[in-house]
Structure 1
């Protein structure tokens, strides 16, 4: 077993010796500091708070929505968006705890959650890890789809909105350091903004540098049909490296007149990664694999550019027209030399893989909204885009001892064209009852051709009728009920459609080759959502919601033995039913007990179920679904000093899953504890200290393949580490 990694003693001593330096920006911002700020700043704070009180989108919008403000995003000292999202009700993060992963709602993985950037589907090659939390204005979590946004959101949608508002001149810089398993990292972010006449501008950016050391161990066992063990291997794996990133987000607003505004917003990310992966296989029983040791060095450079230009015009009688056009570019260059060894440590194979991929595309959206007549807010619009991917993968192998070699020249391209048209109407029937009607048509066409497969094409389109309603219960100012009925879908991704084959180093049933399936159909779903909301004084709330989804033509990975090798490919396999409940509570203690400490408590809980009719039970739930998840947290602002303390504990269950007739998966529950604190020296200078993944729990995941001749099981043990961060924040 690999020794559990721990933070360096130096930074742990720093954290233990400095509890007075802990605090939270969000809680501190709600109370004026002891030192009276200049009059201009005092007026600005009153304006911001007044705007927030005047309209609560979560409470008053007919379409259900959770809005996470910038204060909440920055409060815990997180460095990635995944860390922020994992605390939200109904949202979980896949992968190893503390390292990010795919974002899931309703416990569903495999792309059922739509991730959007400024209201549009994230461009090809985009990663949430490339966004610094400081660049984000707010996060919108939509449990039920609306016509304005893509209905490729069976589980729901998450919209990341970059900073837009430019109120006054701002100069801000944040300098941070961190320790991750003894590896040092830095993180620097800045914000600049100003206004001159009709022109205002803002630019945010950041520099990130970090090292990592992530060991793991893979335990492989095999048994006969009678249950007698005939195979035992232990593979030690080391994964070390360094990464560097630069991101910029410039924005310019030009006021052309009383009714016309032109806005330019761009996002640039440059990423450099260097890593080494080493596998060492120790065969204790049974046959050794073809290669008992592998050394791989990975050098990857990525450039991502996205730029949008928006024209907004206010028309007569409250109507408004908004037209946006954008371009995006993503280029990745990777070089991966590898050495593979036999069991006697003799060099068997030398491999060099070089690849280059380029994604280019453009998008255009338009929205016309008007109060058609009393009580109706009508909107119509379009959402269109085109993207083209070109990828080359060149593989060269050689051997001085006669090992089998494969030299490959894989060249392919893929085009994706999408178009959506929509109309929606929000109707205020009475002061207590409002309804939302929406209809969206969305079509996608994918074409691809390569030098090692015939041209393929896939076309799909979906009509999505949508209905949501909000009813504020009679006789109460704080109780309301929501109901939603939606038609959503999930189109297959480009990589799932292309029949390229990616070889495994040591092919087996639990480590198969990978290929796509050009015959995949989209998954279609009907959904029903119901929620009860009770609002408390001082920003508190208690909510209970439930949902049901029926998904047709579910896509899952199927492993088969083809020409002596195991191959995994996606297939459509039957119908699934999924359902769940979500509970959430926020309670500021002083809203109920004025003499209580200034503690804000929060908690959420989710329970999900599913079943797939094409897979026999038990445990035939959707692959990667999280059955139970929840978070409990608190923020405490001390009255006697400018200090705020807080933390949150998150839990995700897992357990056994029957993926197909022959495939099984298992994972242990994941627990994560995050602590943070803030000491506010002056109104413009503060120090934030945080510990992420304080429990540093080992992660364990297992994959099993069973047929008539044997059972093969791979279990991966991944130690994790607590990450200690310190961040100095200054405004000028």
Structure 2
């Protein structure tokens, strides 16, 4: 703000102070400007002009609860994927093996309970967050309670990834990176090019990535008789190796037609090439060998994703504004996977070739009109629609002289139509109290047909009334309370509706085939959110929040203990009521805001505790969606005063433990710990080197699936996966 104040003072003083400008430019900004000797010095009033974007704190002042993560925070640790960024944010966890990505979870819930949005719209089919370079992102918004403007398919909450749009100044930037993991190397190059000429501005950003990998694991299979003795023990050595290349580019163009009248074109193109070699060798120590004691699968997969939208923003009279957007998306993937299955004597039993192709294409359109109806009221209404068509084929060819070969042709088609209408009003009742009312109707229609089943139609619609309020406590400048009441839902995923069979290599109760269920209904939820926020000087804060959700027609995968045609099948089903609740604590503490002479260190920490219960499954540990019960992150950033060096680290923890999925099904996972560190050295304002170490603890990951009934005994499959330290170096250069 000092520069803006200085510019205004210079304009007011005009020619009399021009000679002092050089002193200011040289860094002597505290020098005093004196009037000519023959006139008395006139005091110059100091006026500070603060832009709305710079002074407005959306997290603190918006009635609807929202956590905004800036680009600086996104890039701080030198992460190469969005999942690595999200795992440190309050209330967010990432499933899967440490450092390898997985489903994004809020309140410990994934599988569609957490909504992932791209520029405010549901992410297109086939889209992966890992295809986005962090450099492309302007900000990340975490919305714990739903709003009418965005999809209410957000029982746990929503994460909105906002790509860069505004272009302020010319930019030329290249980031060249190198990484090492377990003796395998990779490179990535990020680039940003932007400029502004008159009413037109443009930017092109993107990344090129190449990496090799080798990931071993061990799978232990145990079976016990109902009376207790061990009758089967197998140890399988698995190894996955390969390499992948990725290229993405995001061009955008802004055209200013007039004051408040802007047309923006934004596109995203991603091309991936993947080659993998997966092998498994089973060593049977007790009992009989499985049908296939060794398997090798060679995978080659090519995919392309294109998304493009055109938006128009126009400011109207009396503070009204119109936003309209239309977009198209296309996703294509071809996979070729020859496999070879052997018996315990290493004799080739069957050779199989599976080729598959998937094409997703569709378009979206949305519009919003907002206007202040009278003082203190901001009314908005709009619509949001989408159509997506998916074509998929899977061709299986087998050859064998020892077992029966099975050729299979599967062709599927699915169409998804979505339409939503919404209205919302934000009312500032008093300077300290504001309320938000929203109402959204959203309907989804799915139609699928394919080989082996007739056309299936599935329709669902939900009315979602929403209420949020913000109360700034009287007598305090830093304390406030939030309350939210929401109606949200979760529609069944298209793949869960299609009765297509996904075969397991060695079918069993603990490794069943999977088949969709066209009779699935959407899950409906009522929610309550409550939060207390205390803001500190210098950007610090302390918050405590709690939430409750009651979910009707909860969906979970269920394996019947009786095989169908000799095969065990897992199928998603609606299964009664589920309840979940939890608490979240967050702290940001800039040390210098409390102690002026302290080192320039910023501490941050967050802790989440979640509980849930699926009423149709007997407890204990009958958590929905294998919910993460406890998670937390603690970190610090230290900017040295005498060196152009910034150091930082963060430690994340996710609890695991036992889960009862159904009457006979259980799962177990060990707690996951992750330590990341980074250092940033600024050579000059345009060049800096960022070195980071990810997954420094390289903890072993353990997952277990269990099937236990009194008639057949206990069967379990335990997967043990080592993880490795990832070292990265990133040179960042501006031109």
Give the TM-score, by structure 2 length.
0.93
Matched, 1:661 2:663: yes
Q: Aligned to 1:594, what secondary structure does the other structure show? A: coil
Q: Identify the residue that residue 566 of structure 2 maps to in structure 1.
A: 564
Higher RCO (C-alpha under 8 Å, 6+ residues apart) = 1
Q: Identify the residue that residue 398 of structure 1 maps to in structure 2.
A: 399
Offset of 1:230 from its aligned partner?
Answer: 0.6
Matched, 1:635 2:637: yes
Cα deviation code 1:326-365 (max 9, x no counterpart): 0000000000000000110000000000001100000001
Offset of 1:563 from its aligned partner?
Answer: 1.6
Offset of 1:258 from its aligned partner?
Answer: 2.5
Is the deviation greater in 228-237 or in 49-58?
49-58
Q: Aligned to 2:568, what secondary structure does the other structure show? A: strand
Offset of 1:227 from its aligned partner?
Answer: 1.4
Q: Identify the residue that residue 7 of structure 2 maps to in structure 1.
A: none
Q: Aligned to 1:562, what secondary structure does the other structure show? A: coil
Is the deviation greater in 253-262 or in 668-677?
253-262
Cα deviation code 1:120-175 (max 9, x no counterpart): 00000000000000000000000000000000000000000000110011000000
Q: Identify the residue that residue 342 of structure 2 maps to in structure 1.
A: 341
Larger Cα Rg: Structure 1 or Structure 2? 2
Distance 1:667 1:84 in 2: 23
Q: Identify the residue that residue 362 of structure 2 maps to in structure 1.
A: 361
Alignment of 1:229-308 (within 5 A): 229-308=230-309
Q: Identify the residue that residue 649 of structure 2 maps to in structure 1.
A: 647
Q: Aligned to 1:204, what secondary structure does the other structure show? A: strand
Alignment of 1:92-171 (within 5 A): 92-171=93-172
Distance 1:38 1:575 in 2: 67
Q: Aligned to 1:187, what secondary structure does the other structure show? A: strand
Instruction: Choose which of 716, 721, 726 in structure 2 pairs with 1:718.
Output: 721
- Structure 2 gap segments, 5+ residues each: 1-22, 30-46
Cα deviation code 1:533-573 (max 9, x no counterpart): 00000000000000000001010001122121100110001
Distance 1:553 1:241 in 2: 41
Q: Identify the residue that residue 70 of structure 1 maps to in structure 2.
A: 71
Distance 2:383 2:555 in 1: 28
Matched, 1:576 2:583: no
Change (3 A) 1:48 1:712: farther
Matched, 1:441 2:441: yes
Offset of 1:89 from its aligned partner?
Answer: 0.6
Distance 1:520 1:727 in 2: 47
Q: Aligned to 2:297, what secondary structure does the other structure show? A: strand
Q: Identify the residue that residue 617 of structure 2 maps to in structure 1.
A: 615
Q: Identify the residue that residue 485 of structure 1 maps to in structure 2.
A: 485
Offset of 1:313 from its aligned partner?
Answer: 1.1
Alignment of 1:23-42 (within 5 A): none
Is the deviation greater in 620-629 or in 328-337?
620-629
- Structure 1 gap segments, 5+ residues each: 1-35
Equivalent residues of 1:533, 1:542 under 8 A apart? yes
Equivalent residues of 2:626, 2:661 under 8 A apart? no
Change (3 A) 1:275 1:69: same
Change (3 A) 1:357 1:214: same
Equivalent residues of 2:648, 2:677 under 8 A apart? yes
Change (3 A) 1:37 1:421: farther
Is the deviation greater in 248-257 or in 539-548?
248-257
Matched, 1:676 2:684: no
Distance 2:287 2:300 in 1: 36
Distance 1:351 1:564 in 2: 21
Distance 2:577 2:230 in 1: 36
Matched, 1:590 2:625: no
Offset of 1:259 from its aligned partner?
Answer: 3.9
Equivalent residues of 2:689, 2:730 under 8 A apart? yes
Offset of 1:298 from its aligned partner?
Answer: 0.5
Offset of 1:257 from its aligned partner?
Answer: 2.1
Distance 1:530 1:39 in 2: 51
Q: Aligned to 2:168, what secondary structure does the other structure show? A: coil
Alignment of 1:356-435 (within 5 A): 356-401=357-402, 403-435=403-435
Offset of 1:52 from its aligned partner?
Answer: 5.3
Q: Identify the residue that residue 20 of structure 2 maps to in structure 1.
A: none
| Count of equivalent residues | 692
Distance 2:359 2:338 in 1: 21
Q: Identify the residue that residue 87 of structure 1 maps to in structure 2.
A: 88
Q: Aligned to 2:624, what secondary structure does the other structure show? A: coil
Q: Identify the residue that residue 4 of structure 1 maps to in structure 2.
A: none
Cα deviation code 1:660-719 (max 9, x no counterpart): 001000000000000001000000000000000000000000000112212110000000
Alignment of 1:458-477 (within 5 A): 458-477=458-477
Q: Identify the residue that residue 24 of structure 1 maps to in structure 2.
A: none
Distance 2:594 2:307 in 1: 47
Give the TM-score, by structure 1 length.
0.93
Please give the root-mean-square deviation of Cα atoms over the aligned residues, in Å: 1.6
Distance 1:308 1:48 in 2: 35
Change (3 A) 1:540 1:259: closer
Q: Aligned to 2:74, what secondary structure does the other structure show? A: helix
Cα deviation code 1:297-332 (max 9, x no counterpart): 000000000000001111100000011000000000
Equivalent residues of 1:553, 1:574 under 8 A apart? yes
Equivalent residues of 2:501, 2:514 under 8 A apart? yes
Q: Aligned to 1:713, what secondary structure does the other structure show? A: strand
Q: Aligned to 1:661, what secondary structure does the other structure show? A: coil
Distance 1:246 1:424 in 2: 40
Change (3 A) 1:716 1:538: same
Distance 1:47 1:204 in 2: 34
Q: Aligned to 1:84, what secondary structure does the other structure show? A: helix
Q: Aligned to 1:71, what secondary structure does the other structure show? A: helix
Distance 2:593 2:304 in 1: 49
Q: Aligned to 1:623, what secondary structure does the other structure show? A: helix
Offset of 1:51 from its aligned partner?
Answer: 5.1
Equivalent residues of 1:174, 1:188 under 8 A apart? yes
